[in-house]
């Protein structure tokens, strides 16, 4: 134990000395994702799906402008000198020389060192806040002692990619005084199409007019993915390149693990960030801060920038079910104290004894005015054909053009929640977003194979006057302590026809009609293993059917007085639990709505089968001895048939009718009964 304590003391001493180290070096290898994994925020402009907590310090258009001075929220040293503030140029340069009165450099990036760049600067030179949709933002992540301060260039302009965009970050790290340059997202486009241009940024650092390092004409390596999955980063580290420096990359443990799988082998990924090959390592791991297991590994040959998986010989056997924190660290490299890359990594693990089959939640943003949505829906249906481990909700959106008639305000709220800015866009369990045409069986299988730790059961019914009620039971198999969990119950219509527009689709499946209680969901205070949560949610559809003209706000259905339900015997309730902050969906389930009465918007009338192919029958039992007039009209209000009914029953031939929805009205001397019919050949 004394030796371990001395190792920590040595590490702390190196950190302290590191504050006084002058000079920098670019670490010769890149990292994947965001450094340290602290920032998992999506990469969207503010207001377009960007995460909360960011501070906007500059919005375009700007020309060679500096921001105001910004405070660094922790102690930080640049080139061995304590710095407390920085300012940012509209062209991608961050300087710690806040007293400089020199004009901000132009967007025409050049090689380093450059007389255009102030002393004490770091840069992604050439990323320009040129338009009103270009932003420079800041946010700090992590806990005291290990914080990272992001200076984020969001949706920036770059001269060589026409109308495309660049997302890049400069990150200051507390303790190590490292600076990271994070290549996050880029896209090259003309006004109307993707193009073939590449970025020509200058990234790196400049200490003074003679001392600098970096890359000119840098071509970005990330793609147009708005998550961290395709990010890479470059490390600017104080001092010279150390011979013996190992980075703790990852620890291969799942968030939830079955106790029946114990004992567990701990696989620790270590990356060589030093100037010499790694031939030996001393590694250690602890569980919940207990006694450290320390092991020596020799006869290794890890080349510079290479990563190797090291398996601890001492396996871990959890004593009980519950939560554990596992920390693995690099203690020595080649017999010397590690030169402090990221030398430890931790994983929070929950040991469980039961899992549930996951039902994937598909949320698809689509529209009858969107030509690519037709192909997206065809591909989606192909992927899910023959599969049952999923739930589906389709949000008919308000673009392109005038948008889909079945768009509602709740659809718009889900668009904002996810930052959806294209269609057909599909969200899978709140954790993967992409074009529905890009969805694959492999992705489906990947998500369906993830274990779930929440069971959802219940029923859904349609009772008097079209009150939809969902009785839901949640059975958590583990403790969920998040205060951000929300329960959603979404009423969908299995097939609609009347929202036909311009994209060639004639029918639209799983269309969202109403969210219960609303688009913000029902708040859960947390879920405790073994303690069931029962919740009843309901909504009553009011008034008569109306087909909106388009997806504009003025045309949205007013749920207090009208509805857009085409038929009442083809409806479902999709129930899911979601973290409102991380957007992770814990589990979903779909319940067919049972018709406990045959009431439509008026009592006493039934049409079947509905949808109809060539024949349907009208039943109005209260009118069995009353002469009645039957009027059937299409959604444009044109009467297609008028006849009489004398015994409360009538059969109608629809073989020659066009597919779509029709309104059925049965009028007697004392009443008028209305319902809807769908014709589908």
Q: Is the whole model's pTM more than 0.85, yes or no?
A: no
Residue 135 falls within a domain, yes or no? yes
539 and 641, same structural domain?
no
User: What's residue 120's pLDDT?
Assistant: 97
219 and 128, same structural domain?
yes
Per-residue confidence band for 52, with pLDDT thresholds at 50, 70 and 90 = confident
Residue 78 falls within a domain, yes or no? yes
pLDDT tens digits for range 143-199: 999 999 999 999 999 988 878 899 999 999 999 999 999 999 998 876 556 677 789
Strand pairing category for 93-95 and 81-88:
antiparallel
In what side-by-side order are the strands of the sheet with 211-218? 70-78, 81-88, 93-95, 121-125, 201-208, 211-218
Taking each helix axis from N to C end, the angle separating 441-448 and 371-384, rounded to the nearest 10 degrees, works out to 60
653 and 508, same structural domain?
no
Q: Which of 303, 329, 352 is the last residue before a domain boundary?
A: 352
Among candidates 454, 485, 587, 479, which has minimal Cα distance to 529?
479
Residue 3 falls within a domain, yes or no? no
CATH at 649: 2.60.40.3080
187 and 69, same structural domain?
yes
Helix (H, G, I), strand (E, B) or coil at 383: helix
Residue 518 falls within a domain, yes or no? yes
132 and 70, same structural domain?
yes
Residue 333 near residue 273 (C-beta atoms within 8 A) = no
Q: Which of 595, 627, 659 is the last residue before a domain boundary?
A: 595
Q: Detail the DSSP E strand segments found in 424-466.
A: 425-428, 432-435, 454-463
212 and 82, same structural domain?
yes
User: What's residue 602's pLDDT?
Assistant: 44
32 and 161, same structural domain?
yes
558 and 615, same structural domain?
no
Helix (H, G, I), strand (E, B) or coil at 299: coil
> How many structural domains compose the chain?
4
211 and 73, same structural domain?
yes
Residue 596 near residue 461 (C-beta atoms within 8 A) = yes
Residue 450 falls within a domain, yes or no? yes
Is the dihedral angle over the CA atoms 335, 336, 342, 347 positive or is it negative?
A: positive
Q: Which residues contact 665 (CB under 8 A, 6 or more apart)?
A: 630, 631, 632, 633, 672, 673, 674
Strand pairing category for 639-645 and 256-258:
unpaired
Lowest-confidence pick of 105-119, 301-315, 424-438, 556-570: 556-570
Give the largest Cα separation in the chain, rounded: 102
161 and 278, same structural domain?
no
Q: With a cut of 70, say whether residue 14 has pLDDT above it.
A: no
Direct distance between the N- and C-terminal alpha carbons of the chain, in angstroms, rounded to an integer: 79
User: What's residue 10's pLDDT?
Assistant: 36
pLDDT tens digits for range 506-521: 889 999 999 999 999 9
Q: With a cut of 90, say whether residue 106 has pLDDT above it.
A: yes
Residue 292 near residue 338 (C-beta atoms within 8 A) = no
217 and 82, same structural domain?
yes
Lowest-confidence pick of 398-407, 546-555, 670-679: 670-679
pLDDT tens digits for range 337-384: 887 666 899 999 999 999 999 999 999 999 999 999 999 999 999 999
Residue 526 falls within a domain, yes or no? yes
Question: Where in the sequence is the domain holding 319, given as residue range(s)?
Answer: 244-352
CA angle 560, 564, 570 (to 5 degrees): 120
Q: With a cut of 80, say whether residue 598 has pLDDT above it.
A: no
Q: With a cut of 50, say whether residue 549 has pLDDT above it.
A: yes
CATH at 344: 2.60.40.10
Q: Which of 238, 272, 296 is the last residue before a domain boundary?
A: 238
Residue 5 falls within a domain, yes or no? no
59 and 23, same structural domain?
yes
Residue 2 falls within a domain, yes or no? no
- Could you say which DSSP state residue 270 is in? E
């Amino acid at each position: 134990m004394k030796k371990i304590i001395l190792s920590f003391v040595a590490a702390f001493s190196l950190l302290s000395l590191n504050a006084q180290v002058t000079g920098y070096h670019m670490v010769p290898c890149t990292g994947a994702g965001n450094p340290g994994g602290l920032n998992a925020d999506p990469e969207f402009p503010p207001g377009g799906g960007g995460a909360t907590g960011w501070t906007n310090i500059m919005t375009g258009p700007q020309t060679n402008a500096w921001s105001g001075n910004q405070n660094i929220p922790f102690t930080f040293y640049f080139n061995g000198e304590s710095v407390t503030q920085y300012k940012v140029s509209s062209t991608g340069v961050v300087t710690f020389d806040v007293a400089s009165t020199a004009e901000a450099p132009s967007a025409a990036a050049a090689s380093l060192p450059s007389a255009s760049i102030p002393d004490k600067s770091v840069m992604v030179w050439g990323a320009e806040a040129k338009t009103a949709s270009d932003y420079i933002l800041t946010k700090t992540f992590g806990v005291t002692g290990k914080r990272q301060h992001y200076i984020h260039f969001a949706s920036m302009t770059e001269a060589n990619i026409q109308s495309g965009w660049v997302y890049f970050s400069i990150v200051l790290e507390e303790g190590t005084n490292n600076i990271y340059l994070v290549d996050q997202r880029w896209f090259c486009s003309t006004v109307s199409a993707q193009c073939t241009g590449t970025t020509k940024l200058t990234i790196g650092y400049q200490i003074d007019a003679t001392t600098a390092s970096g890359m000119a004409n840098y071509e970005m390596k990330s793609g147009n993915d708005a998550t961290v999955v395709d990010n890479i980063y470059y490390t600017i580290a104080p001092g010279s390149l150390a011979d013996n420096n190992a980075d703790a990359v990852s620890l291969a443990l799942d968030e939830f693990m079955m106790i029946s799988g114990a004992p567990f082998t701990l696989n620790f990924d270590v990356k060589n960030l030093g100037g010499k090959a790694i031939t030996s390592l001393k590694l250690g791991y602890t569980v919940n801060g207990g006694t450290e297991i320390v092991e020596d590994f020799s006869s290794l040959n890890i080349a510079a920038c290479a990563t190797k998986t090291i398996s601890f010989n001492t396996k871990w056997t959890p004593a009980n079910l519950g939560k554990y924190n596992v920390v693995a660290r690099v203690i020595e490299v080649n017999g010397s104290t590690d030169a402090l890359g990221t030398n430890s990594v931790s994983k929070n693990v929950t040991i469980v004894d039961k899992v549930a089959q996951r039902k994937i939640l598909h949320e698809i943003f689509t529209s009858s005015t969107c030509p690519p949505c037709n192909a997206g829906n065809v591909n989606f249906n192909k992927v899910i054909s023959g599969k049952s481990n999923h739930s589906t909700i389709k949000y008919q959106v308000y673009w392109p053009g005038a948008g889909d008639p079945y768009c509602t305000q709740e659809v718009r709220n889900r668009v904002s929640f996810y930052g959806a800015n294209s269609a057909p866009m599909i969200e899978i369990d709140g954790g993967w977003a992409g074009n529905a045409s890009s969805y694959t069986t492999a992705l489906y299988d990947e998500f369906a194979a993830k274990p779930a730790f929440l069971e959802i059961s219940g029923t859904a019914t349609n009772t008097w006057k079209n009150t939809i009620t969902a009785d839901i039971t949640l059975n958590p198999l583990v403790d969920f302590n998040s205060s951000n969990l929300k329960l959603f119950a979404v009423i969908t219509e299995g097939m609609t026809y009347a929202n036909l527009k311009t994209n060639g689709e004639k029918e639209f499946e799983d269309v969202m009609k109403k969210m219960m209680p609303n688009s913000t969901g029902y708040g859960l205070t947390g879920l405790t293993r073994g303690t069931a949560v029962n919740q009843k949610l309901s909504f009553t559809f009011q008034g008569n059917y109306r087909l909106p003209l388009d997806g504009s706000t003025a045309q949205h259905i007013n749920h207090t007085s009208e509805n857009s339900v085409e038929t009442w015997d083809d409806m479902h309730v999709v129930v899911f639990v979601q973290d409102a902050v991380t957007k992770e969906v814990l589990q979903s389930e779909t319940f067919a709505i049972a018709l406990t009465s045959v009431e439509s918007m008026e009592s006493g009338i039934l049409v079947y089968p509905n949808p109809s192919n060539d024949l349907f029958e009208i039943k109005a039992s209260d009118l069995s001895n009353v002469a009645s007039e039957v009027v059937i009209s299409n959604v444009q209000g044109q009467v297609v048939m008028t006849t009489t009914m004398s015994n409360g029953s009538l059969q109608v031939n629809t073989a020659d009718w066009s597919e779509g929805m029709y309104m059925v009205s049965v009028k007697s001397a004392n009443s008028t009964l209305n319902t809807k019919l769908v014709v589908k050949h």
